[in-house]
Amino acid sequence: TVHWHGIVLPNGMDGVAGLNQRAIPVGETFVYEFTLRYPGTFWYHS
């Protein structure tokens, strides 16, 4: 999962495995889809 800082987005796109979205099993993928509402420089991590 990916956790974003400073971005307004749906909870299901802000990954905390088991809390906001399901864990992504080894070998599977997940596509993050959201619209950025504000321009800027942001930090993210997995």
Residue 21 DSSP one-character state: B
Q: Among 34, 13, 9, which residue's Cα sits nearest to residue 22?
A: 13
Question: How far apart, in whole angstroms, are the C-alpha atoms of residue 22 and residue 40?
Answer: 28
pLDDT of residue 40: 92
Express each pLDDT in 1-46 by its tens digit. Answer: 788 899 998 888 887 777 888 888 899 998 999 898 899 999 999 8
> SS3 for 11?
helix
User: Taking the mean position of all CA atoms in its chain, how far away is CA 36?
Assistant: 12
| pTM of the predicted structure, to 2 decimals | 0.64
